[in-house]
Structure 1
Protein backbone atom coordinates (compact mmCIF):
# COMPACT_ATOMS: atom_id res chain seq x y z
CA UNK A 1 0.00 0.00 0.00
CA UNK A 2 1.23 3.49 -0.86
CA UNK A 3 0.83 5.56 2.32
CA UNK A 4 1.79 8.84 0.66
CA UNK A 5 -1.09 11.29 0.72
CA UNK A 6 -2.48 13.31 -2.15
CA UNK A 7 -1.82 16.70 -0.61
CA UNK A 8 -4.69 18.55 -2.30
CA UNK A 9 -7.46 15.95 -2.00
CA UNK A 10 -9.28 15.13 1.22
CA UNK A 11 -12.45 13.49 2.49
CA UNK A 12 -14.57 15.08 5.24
CA UNK A 13 -17.16 13.03 7.09
CA UNK A 14 -20.40 14.19 8.70
CA UNK A 15 -21.60 11.74 11.35
CA UNK A 16 -25.14 12.40 12.54
CA UNK A 17 -27.43 10.96 15.20
CA UNK A 18 -30.60 11.97 17.03
CA UNK A 19 -30.21 12.26 20.78
CA UNK A 20 -32.39 13.97 23.39
CA UNK A 21 -34.79 15.14 20.67
CA UNK A 22 -32.11 17.02 18.74
CA UNK A 23 -29.88 16.31 15.75
CA UNK A 24 -26.23 15.92 16.75
CA UNK A 25 -23.10 16.10 14.59
CA UNK A 26 -19.70 14.71 15.57
CA UNK A 27 -16.79 17.17 15.55
CA UNK A 28 -13.08 16.78 16.18
CA UNK A 29 -11.07 19.23 18.30
CA UNK A 30 -8.38 21.13 16.36
CA UNK A 31 -5.44 22.45 18.40
CA UNK A 32 -2.14 23.96 17.30
CA UNK A 33 0.10 26.37 19.23
CA UNK A 34 3.57 27.06 17.82
CA UNK A 35 4.28 29.56 20.63
CA UNK A 36 5.24 32.27 18.15
CA UNK A 37 3.80 35.76 18.47
CA UNK A 38 3.53 36.09 14.71
CA UNK A 39 1.40 32.96 14.37
CA UNK A 40 -2.16 32.44 15.60
CA UNK A 41 -3.26 29.75 18.03
CA UNK A 42 -5.57 27.19 16.43
CA UNK A 43 -8.30 26.18 18.87
CA UNK A 44 -11.60 25.22 17.27
CA UNK A 45 -13.49 22.27 15.81
CA UNK A 46 -13.60 20.51 12.44
CA UNK A 47 -15.27 17.52 10.86
CA UNK A 48 -13.43 14.18 11.06
CA UNK A 49 -11.54 13.58 7.85
CA UNK A 50 -8.38 12.39 6.12
CA UNK A 51 -6.29 13.24 3.13
CA UNK A 52 -6.66 10.62 0.43
CA UNK A 53 -3.74 8.19 0.19
CA UNK A 54 -2.30 7.43 -3.23
CA UNK A 55 -3.38 3.80 -2.89
CA UNK A 56 -6.95 4.61 -1.71
CA UNK A 57 -10.03 5.83 -3.53
CA UNK A 58 -12.53 8.27 -2.04
CA UNK A 59 -14.87 5.64 -0.63
CA UNK A 60 -12.03 3.74 1.02
CA UNK A 61 -10.85 6.96 2.65
CA UNK A 62 -14.34 7.65 4.03
CA UNK A 63 -14.53 4.06 5.28
CA UNK A 64 -11.23 4.55 7.10
CA UNK A 65 -12.61 7.58 8.95
CA UNK A 66 -15.88 5.88 9.88
CA UNK A 67 -14.20 2.65 10.98
CA UNK A 68 -11.71 4.51 13.17
CA UNK A 69 -14.58 6.16 15.01
CA UNK A 70 -17.17 3.37 15.15
CA UNK A 71 -15.17 0.18 14.72
CA UNK A 72 -17.55 -1.01 12.02
CA UNK A 73 -17.80 -1.08 8.25
CA UNK A 74 -20.74 0.97 6.98
CA UNK A 75 -22.61 0.45 3.72
CA UNK A 76 -25.08 3.30 4.22
CA UNK A 77 -22.64 6.21 3.86
CA UNK A 78 -23.68 8.88 1.37
CA UNK A 79 -21.35 10.94 -0.83
CA UNK A 80 -23.22 14.20 -1.35
CA UNK A 81 -20.94 16.96 -2.59
CA UNK A 82 -17.40 18.12 -3.48
CA UNK A 83 -15.91 21.43 -2.32
CA UNK A 84 -13.15 23.07 -4.32
CA UNK A 85 -13.63 26.82 -3.99
CA UNK A 86 -10.26 28.56 -4.13
CA UNK A 87 -11.22 30.66 -1.09
CA UNK A 88 -12.32 27.78 1.15
CA UNK A 89 -8.94 27.86 2.93
CA UNK A 90 -8.13 31.51 3.55
CA UNK A 91 -8.13 32.35 7.27
CA UNK A 92 -4.87 32.56 9.20
CA UNK A 93 -5.72 29.56 11.33
CA UNK A 94 -6.82 27.41 8.37
CA UNK A 95 -3.70 28.30 6.37
CA UNK A 96 -1.43 27.53 9.31
CA UNK A 97 -3.17 24.22 9.96
CA UNK A 98 -2.87 23.08 6.34
CA UNK A 99 0.78 24.10 6.04
CA UNK A 100 1.62 22.34 9.31
CA UNK A 101 0.44 19.12 7.68
CA UNK A 102 2.45 19.56 4.51
CA UNK A 103 -0.62 19.99 2.33
CA UNK A 104 -1.45 22.62 -0.26
CA UNK A 105 -3.66 25.63 0.39
CA UNK A 106 -5.87 24.71 -2.58
CA UNK A 107 -7.50 21.54 -1.34
CA UNK A 108 -10.52 19.80 -2.79
CA UNK A 109 -12.61 17.82 -0.34
CA UNK A 110 -15.32 15.28 -1.05
CA UNK A 111 -17.94 15.05 1.69
CA UNK A 112 -19.81 12.00 2.98
CA UNK A 113 -22.41 11.68 5.68
CA UNK A 114 -23.18 8.68 7.83
CA UNK A 115 -26.31 8.31 9.96
CA UNK A 116 -25.90 6.47 13.25
CA UNK A 117 -28.66 4.90 15.32
CA UNK A 118 -29.53 6.74 18.51
CA UNK A 119 -28.16 3.90 20.66
CA UNK A 120 -24.87 3.61 18.76
CA UNK A 121 -21.71 4.22 20.80
CA UNK A 122 -18.38 5.30 19.36
CA UNK A 123 -15.40 2.96 19.52
CA UNK A 124 -12.97 5.88 19.70
CA UNK A 125 -14.20 9.11 21.30
CA UNK A 126 -10.80 10.68 21.93
CA UNK A 127 -10.78 14.29 20.78
CA UNK A 128 -14.32 14.19 19.39
CA UNK A 129 -17.64 15.41 20.75
CA UNK A 130 -21.30 15.48 19.72
CA UNK A 131 -22.85 18.93 19.17
CA UNK A 132 -26.41 20.06 18.56
CA UNK A 133 -26.55 21.04 14.89
CA UNK A 134 -28.42 24.22 15.91
CA UNK A 135 -25.71 25.24 18.38
CA UNK A 136 -22.34 24.64 16.73
CA UNK A 137 -19.01 25.86 18.13
CA UNK A 138 -16.39 27.79 16.16
CA UNK A 139 -15.61 25.70 13.08
CA UNK A 140 -12.59 25.62 10.80
CA UNK A 141 -12.58 25.77 7.01
CA UNK A 142 -16.03 25.68 5.38
CA UNK A 143 -17.24 22.88 7.61
CA UNK A 144 -20.35 24.72 8.77
CA UNK A 145 -21.52 24.81 5.14
CA UNK A 146 -20.69 21.12 4.69
CA UNK A 147 -22.81 20.24 7.75
CA UNK A 148 -25.68 22.41 6.48
CA UNK A 149 -25.50 20.81 3.04
CA UNK A 150 -25.53 17.30 4.55
CA UNK A 151 -28.62 18.13 6.59
CA UNK A 152 -30.32 19.70 3.56
CA UNK A 153 -29.62 16.55 1.53
CA UNK A 154 -31.21 14.38 4.22
CA UNK A 155 -34.27 16.65 4.50
CA UNK A 156 -34.75 16.54 0.72
CA UNK A 157 -34.91 12.71 0.83
CA UNK A 158 -36.64 12.04 4.12
CA UNK A 159 -40.10 11.54 2.57
CA UNK A 160 -38.94 9.55 -0.44
CA UNK A 161 -36.18 7.32 0.96
CA UNK A 162 -36.02 5.29 4.19
CA UNK A 163 -33.16 7.36 5.64
CA UNK A 164 -35.04 8.01 8.87
CA UNK A 165 -34.70 4.35 9.88
CA UNK A 166 -30.92 4.69 9.96
CA UNK A 167 -31.45 6.99 12.96
CA UNK A 168 -33.44 4.26 14.72
CA UNK A 169 -32.23 1.31 16.78
CA UNK A 170 -33.21 -2.03 15.26
CA UNK A 171 -36.28 -2.10 17.52
CA UNK A 172 -38.02 1.22 18.08
CA UNK A 173 -41.25 2.71 19.37
CA UNK A 174 -43.60 4.86 17.31
CA UNK A 175 -42.84 7.79 19.62
CA UNK A 176 -39.14 7.47 18.78
CA UNK A 177 -39.91 7.37 15.08
CA UNK A 178 -42.21 10.38 15.32
CA UNK A 179 -39.56 12.31 17.23
CA UNK A 180 -37.03 11.57 14.48
CA UNK A 181 -39.37 12.91 11.79
CA UNK A 182 -40.13 16.01 13.88
CA UNK A 183 -36.43 16.73 14.49
CA UNK A 184 -35.47 16.25 10.84
CA UNK A 185 -38.40 18.18 9.41
CA UNK A 186 -38.33 20.79 12.21
CA UNK A 187 -42.08 20.55 12.68
CA UNK A 188 -44.64 19.11 15.10
CA UNK A 189 -46.73 16.19 13.87
CA UNK A 190 -50.18 15.21 15.04
CA UNK A 191 -49.66 12.08 17.11
CA UNK A 192 -52.84 10.26 16.14
CA UNK A 193 -52.52 11.04 12.43
CA UNK A 194 -48.86 10.01 12.39
CA UNK A 195 -49.58 6.67 14.05
CA UNK A 196 -52.44 5.96 11.67
CA UNK A 197 -50.31 6.63 8.61
CA UNK A 198 -47.13 4.93 9.76
CA UNK A 199 -48.83 1.73 10.99
CA UNK A 200 -50.51 1.39 7.59
CA UNK A 201 -47.09 0.84 6.02
CA UNK A 202 -46.41 -2.87 5.56
CA UNK A 203 -42.68 -2.34 6.03
CA UNK A 204 -43.26 -1.13 9.61
CA UNK A 205 -43.49 -4.50 11.39
CA UNK A 206 -45.08 -4.66 14.86
CA UNK A 207 -43.36 -6.93 17.36
CA UNK A 208 -44.69 -8.84 20.34
CA UNK A 209 -42.08 -7.12 22.50
CA UNK A 210 -42.71 -3.97 24.50
CA UNK A 211 -40.43 -1.45 26.14
CA UNK A 212 -41.01 -0.05 29.58
CA UNK A 213 -40.62 3.70 29.78
CA UNK A 214 -41.62 6.58 32.01
CA UNK A 215 -45.29 6.01 31.33
CA UNK A 216 -47.17 3.27 33.15
CA UNK A 217 -48.11 1.55 29.90
CA UNK A 218 -45.20 -0.18 28.05
CA UNK A 219 -44.73 0.87 24.41
CA UNK A 220 -44.92 -1.66 21.60
CA UNK A 221 -41.75 -2.13 19.60
CA UNK A 222 -41.51 -2.10 15.80
CA UNK A 223 -38.93 -2.95 13.16
CA UNK A 224 -38.31 -1.62 9.67
CA UNK A 225 -38.28 -4.34 7.00
CA UNK A 226 -35.97 -3.34 4.18
CA UNK A 227 -36.99 -6.42 2.18
CA UNK A 228 -40.67 -5.44 2.25
CA UNK A 229 -39.83 -1.83 1.48
CA UNK A 230 -37.74 -2.80 -1.56
CA UNK A 231 -40.61 -4.88 -2.94
CA UNK A 232 -43.07 -2.03 -2.54
CA UNK A 233 -40.81 0.74 -3.76
CA UNK A 234 -40.58 -0.97 -7.16
CA UNK A 235 -44.20 0.04 -7.71
CA UNK A 236 -43.43 3.67 -6.90
CA UNK A 237 -44.57 3.53 -3.29
CA UNK A 238 -42.74 6.03 -1.10
CA UNK A 239 -42.63 7.14 2.51
CA UNK A 240 -44.98 10.07 2.80
CA UNK A 241 -46.26 11.32 6.11
Structure 2
Protein backbone atom coordinates (compact mmCIF):
# COMPACT_ATOMS: atom_id res chain seq x y z
CA UNK A 1 0.00 0.00 0.00
CA UNK A 2 1.40 3.38 -1.06
CA UNK A 3 1.96 5.83 1.81
CA UNK A 4 -0.40 8.78 2.00
CA UNK A 5 0.69 11.85 0.01
CA UNK A 6 0.65 15.43 1.25
CA UNK A 7 -1.15 16.90 -1.74
CA UNK A 8 0.09 20.48 -1.45
CA UNK A 9 3.77 19.84 -0.64
CA UNK A 10 6.19 18.45 -3.21
CA UNK A 11 9.89 18.12 -3.83
CA UNK A 12 11.51 18.98 -7.18
CA UNK A 13 15.03 17.83 -8.01
CA UNK A 14 17.47 19.61 -10.29
CA UNK A 15 19.88 16.86 -11.35
CA UNK A 16 23.14 18.30 -12.67
CA UNK A 17 25.71 16.35 -14.65
CA UNK A 18 28.77 17.41 -16.63
CA UNK A 19 29.28 16.34 -20.26
CA UNK A 20 33.05 15.95 -20.60
CA UNK A 21 32.90 15.58 -24.39
CA UNK A 22 30.86 18.72 -25.03
CA UNK A 23 32.18 20.53 -21.94
CA UNK A 24 28.72 21.54 -20.80
CA UNK A 25 26.87 21.56 -17.51
CA UNK A 26 23.67 19.60 -18.10
CA UNK A 27 20.40 19.04 -16.28
CA UNK A 28 18.36 15.82 -16.41
CA UNK A 29 14.74 16.32 -17.50
CA UNK A 30 11.73 14.10 -18.14
CA UNK A 31 9.00 14.39 -20.76
CA UNK A 32 5.58 15.75 -19.80
CA UNK A 33 3.05 14.57 -22.37
CA UNK A 34 -0.75 14.65 -22.38
CA UNK A 35 -3.39 14.12 -25.05
CA UNK A 36 -7.03 15.18 -25.01
CA UNK A 37 -9.62 12.66 -23.81
CA UNK A 38 -10.45 11.65 -27.38
CA UNK A 39 -6.68 11.38 -28.10
CA UNK A 40 -7.03 13.63 -31.14
CA UNK A 41 -5.11 16.59 -29.76
CA UNK A 42 -1.78 16.89 -27.99
CA UNK A 43 -2.38 19.19 -25.05
CA UNK A 44 1.08 19.11 -23.47
CA UNK A 45 4.45 18.15 -24.90
CA UNK A 46 7.30 19.64 -22.93
CA UNK A 47 9.82 18.79 -20.19
CA UNK A 48 9.89 19.05 -16.42
CA UNK A 49 12.13 18.32 -13.48
CA UNK A 50 11.71 15.06 -11.66
CA UNK A 51 9.68 15.49 -8.50
CA UNK A 52 6.81 14.16 -6.43
CA UNK A 53 4.59 14.75 -3.44
CA UNK A 54 6.02 14.31 0.04
CA UNK A 55 4.65 11.27 1.89
CA UNK A 56 3.31 11.82 5.39
CA UNK A 57 5.93 9.50 6.89
CA UNK A 58 8.90 11.17 5.13
CA UNK A 59 11.27 14.02 5.78
CA UNK A 60 11.92 16.35 2.84
CA UNK A 61 15.38 14.82 2.44
CA UNK A 62 13.79 11.36 2.32
CA UNK A 63 11.50 12.47 -0.50
CA UNK A 64 14.33 13.99 -2.53
CA UNK A 65 16.42 10.84 -2.12
CA UNK A 66 13.47 8.65 -3.14
CA UNK A 67 12.69 10.76 -6.20
CA UNK A 68 16.30 10.63 -7.40
CA UNK A 69 16.54 6.88 -6.83
CA UNK A 70 13.32 6.24 -8.76
CA UNK A 71 14.65 8.23 -11.71
CA UNK A 72 18.28 7.14 -11.77
CA UNK A 73 18.66 4.16 -9.42
CA UNK A 74 21.34 6.16 -7.60
CA UNK A 75 21.69 6.89 -3.89
CA UNK A 76 24.21 8.74 -1.72
CA UNK A 77 24.73 11.51 -4.27
CA UNK A 78 25.59 15.08 -3.30
CA UNK A 79 22.36 16.99 -2.68
CA UNK A 80 21.46 20.42 -1.40
CA UNK A 81 18.08 21.88 -0.46
CA UNK A 82 18.29 25.44 -1.73
CA UNK A 83 14.86 27.08 -1.80
CA UNK A 84 11.09 26.73 -1.42
CA UNK A 85 8.86 27.89 -4.28
CA UNK A 86 5.37 28.85 -3.17
CA UNK A 87 4.15 31.64 -5.44
CA UNK A 88 0.32 31.41 -5.61
CA UNK A 89 0.48 31.66 -9.42
CA UNK A 90 3.31 29.18 -10.02
CA UNK A 91 0.99 26.52 -11.49
CA UNK A 92 -1.57 28.69 -13.22
CA UNK A 93 -0.73 28.68 -16.93
CA UNK A 94 -3.02 26.79 -19.32
CA UNK A 95 -0.84 23.72 -19.77
CA UNK A 96 -0.15 23.38 -16.06
CA UNK A 97 -3.85 23.59 -15.25
CA UNK A 98 -4.61 20.82 -17.73
CA UNK A 99 -1.87 18.67 -16.21
CA UNK A 100 -3.04 19.32 -12.66
CA UNK A 101 -6.63 18.38 -13.58
CA UNK A 102 -5.38 15.12 -15.10
CA UNK A 103 -3.12 14.29 -12.15
CA UNK A 104 -5.55 15.51 -9.48
CA UNK A 105 -3.24 17.46 -7.22
CA UNK A 106 -3.53 20.75 -5.38
CA UNK A 107 -3.35 24.05 -7.28
CA UNK A 108 -1.66 25.67 -4.28
CA UNK A 109 1.27 23.28 -4.09
CA UNK A 110 4.51 24.50 -2.54
CA UNK A 111 7.63 22.73 -3.76
CA UNK A 112 10.92 22.36 -1.92
CA UNK A 113 13.77 22.38 -4.41
CA UNK A 114 16.98 20.38 -4.23
CA UNK A 115 19.86 19.99 -6.59
CA UNK A 116 21.99 16.89 -7.04
CA UNK A 117 25.43 16.49 -8.57
CA UNK A 118 26.33 13.22 -10.26
CA UNK A 119 28.33 11.69 -13.05
CA UNK A 120 26.39 11.57 -16.32
CA UNK A 121 27.77 8.14 -17.18
CA UNK A 122 26.19 6.72 -14.01
CA UNK A 123 22.69 7.32 -15.41
CA UNK A 124 21.35 4.64 -17.78
CA UNK A 125 19.15 6.57 -20.20
CA UNK A 126 18.36 3.71 -22.60
CA UNK A 127 16.52 1.38 -20.24
CA UNK A 128 14.96 4.09 -18.07
CA UNK A 129 11.14 3.98 -18.02
CA UNK A 130 10.97 7.75 -17.45
CA UNK A 131 12.95 8.36 -20.69
CA UNK A 132 15.01 11.21 -19.20
CA UNK A 133 17.34 13.31 -21.33
CA UNK A 134 20.30 15.56 -20.54
CA UNK A 135 20.02 19.18 -21.68
CA UNK A 136 22.67 21.92 -21.40
CA UNK A 137 21.73 24.53 -18.80
CA UNK A 138 22.53 27.11 -21.47
CA UNK A 139 20.06 25.55 -23.94
CA UNK A 140 16.96 24.35 -22.10
CA UNK A 141 13.87 23.05 -23.91
CA UNK A 142 10.32 24.27 -23.27
CA UNK A 143 9.63 23.62 -19.60
CA UNK A 144 6.47 23.14 -17.59
CA UNK A 145 5.44 24.80 -14.33
CA UNK A 146 8.05 27.22 -12.96
CA UNK A 147 10.84 24.73 -13.55
CA UNK A 148 13.01 27.03 -15.64
CA UNK A 149 13.10 29.44 -12.69
CA UNK A 150 13.97 26.58 -10.32
CA UNK A 151 16.80 25.36 -12.57
CA UNK A 152 18.31 28.83 -12.99
CA UNK A 153 18.19 29.52 -9.25
CA UNK A 154 19.82 26.14 -8.57
CA UNK A 155 22.50 27.05 -11.10
CA UNK A 156 23.19 30.38 -9.39
CA UNK A 157 23.50 28.61 -6.05
CA UNK A 158 25.88 26.07 -7.57
CA UNK A 159 28.12 28.88 -8.87
CA UNK A 160 28.57 30.19 -5.34
CA UNK A 161 28.87 26.77 -3.72
CA UNK A 162 31.59 25.50 -6.08
CA UNK A 163 33.91 28.29 -4.89
CA UNK A 164 33.68 27.30 -1.23
CA UNK A 165 33.52 23.49 -1.42
CA UNK A 166 35.16 20.98 -3.79
CA UNK A 167 31.78 19.76 -5.03
CA UNK A 168 32.76 19.87 -8.71
CA UNK A 169 34.53 16.53 -8.24
CA UNK A 170 31.07 14.97 -7.84
CA UNK A 171 30.59 15.77 -11.54
CA UNK A 172 33.85 14.20 -12.71
CA UNK A 173 35.03 10.61 -13.09
CA UNK A 174 37.02 9.27 -10.13
CA UNK A 175 40.16 9.71 -12.27
CA UNK A 176 40.38 12.97 -14.19
CA UNK A 177 42.78 15.34 -15.95
CA UNK A 178 43.58 18.89 -14.92
CA UNK A 179 41.95 20.12 -18.13
CA UNK A 180 38.71 18.37 -17.20
CA UNK A 181 38.67 20.12 -13.82
CA UNK A 182 39.20 23.44 -15.57
CA UNK A 183 36.43 22.63 -18.06
CA UNK A 184 33.96 22.05 -15.22
CA UNK A 185 34.80 25.35 -13.51
CA UNK A 186 34.61 27.27 -16.79
CA UNK A 187 31.26 25.66 -17.66
CA UNK A 188 29.70 26.42 -14.27
CA UNK A 189 31.10 29.92 -13.83
CA UNK A 190 30.84 30.99 -17.47
CA UNK A 191 34.38 32.36 -17.57
CA UNK A 192 37.70 31.57 -19.21
CA UNK A 193 40.51 30.55 -16.87
CA UNK A 194 44.21 30.89 -17.64
CA UNK A 195 45.36 27.31 -18.22
CA UNK A 196 48.92 27.56 -16.90
CA UNK A 197 47.98 29.49 -13.79
CA UNK A 198 45.10 27.12 -13.02
CA UNK A 199 47.25 24.01 -13.50
CA UNK A 200 50.01 25.38 -11.29
CA UNK A 201 47.58 26.18 -8.47
CA UNK A 202 45.64 22.93 -8.68
CA UNK A 203 48.55 20.49 -8.63
CA UNK A 204 49.91 22.22 -5.50
CA UNK A 205 46.77 21.35 -3.55
CA UNK A 206 47.44 18.37 -1.32
CA UNK A 207 43.99 16.90 -1.85
CA UNK A 208 44.64 16.55 -5.61
CA UNK A 209 46.58 13.28 -5.92
CA UNK A 210 48.69 12.57 -9.00
CA UNK A 211 48.27 8.97 -10.17
CA UNK A 212 50.77 6.76 -11.95
CA UNK A 213 48.32 6.61 -14.84
CA UNK A 214 47.51 8.44 -18.03
CA UNK A 215 44.49 8.68 -20.29
CA UNK A 216 43.79 5.69 -22.52
CA UNK A 217 41.90 5.29 -25.76
CA UNK A 218 42.65 8.75 -27.18
CA UNK A 219 44.52 9.67 -30.34
CA UNK A 220 46.41 12.66 -28.99
CA UNK A 221 49.10 12.65 -26.32
CA UNK A 222 47.55 11.15 -23.15
CA UNK A 223 47.35 13.45 -20.15
CA UNK A 224 48.27 12.71 -16.53
CA UNK A 225 45.37 11.45 -14.38
CA UNK A 226 44.58 12.71 -10.87
CA UNK A 227 42.09 11.94 -8.12
CA UNK A 228 40.45 13.98 -5.37
CA UNK A 229 41.11 12.88 -1.77
CA UNK A 230 38.13 13.69 0.41
CA UNK A 231 40.01 12.56 3.52
CA UNK A 232 42.91 14.95 2.94
CA UNK A 233 40.56 17.80 2.08
CA UNK A 234 38.56 17.35 5.29
CA UNK A 235 41.74 17.43 7.38
CA UNK A 236 42.73 20.70 5.69
CA UNK A 237 39.28 22.26 5.69
CA UNK A 238 38.80 25.58 7.43
CA UNK A 239 35.56 27.46 7.87
CA UNK A 240 34.90 30.00 5.10
CA UNK A 241 37.78 28.62 3.09
CA UNK A 242 37.53 29.67 -0.55
CA UNK A 243 38.81 27.45 -3.33
CA UNK A 244 41.18 29.55 -5.42
CA UNK A 245 40.85 29.00 -9.13
Q: Normalising by structure 2, what TM-score?
A: 0.91
Counterpart CA distance in 2 for 1:111 and 1:236 is: 24
4+ residue stretches of structure 1 with deviation over 6 A? none
> How many residues are paired up?
240
Deviations 1:103-130 (A, max 9, x none): 1100000011111124322372632111
Query: 2-side partners of 1:145 and 1:64: how far apart?
Result: 23
Matching residue of 2:145: 141
Q: CA RMSD in A?
A: 2.0
Aligned equivalents of 1:56, 1:236: Cα separation in 2: 32
| Counterpart for residue 180 of structure 1 | 184
Measured in 1, the distance between the counterparts of 2:176 and 2:131 equals 30
Q: Distance in 2 between matches of 1:219 and 1:35?
A: 57
Report what 1:57 is aligned to: 59
Kindly state the Cα deviation for residue 93 of structure 1 after the two structures are TM-superposed: 1.1
1:117 to 111, 116, 119: 119
- 1:92 maps to 94
* Alpha-carbon shift at residue 36 of structure 1 (Å): 6.2
CA distance in 2 between counterparts of 1:45 and 1:216 reads 38
**d(CA) in 1 for partners of 2:86, 2:130:** 29
TM-score, normalized by length of structure 1? 0.93
Q: How far did residue 4 of structure 1 move?
A: 1.8
**CA distance in 1: counterparts of 2:188 and 2:129, whole angstroms:** 25
Q: Deviations over 1:15-45 (max 9, x none)?
A: 11111111111111011112469x9711111
Q: Could you tell me how far apart the structure 2 residues matched to 1:119 and 1:198 are?
A: 25
Please, which runs of 5 or more residues in structure 1 have no aligned partner? none
* 1:238 correspondence with 2:242: yes
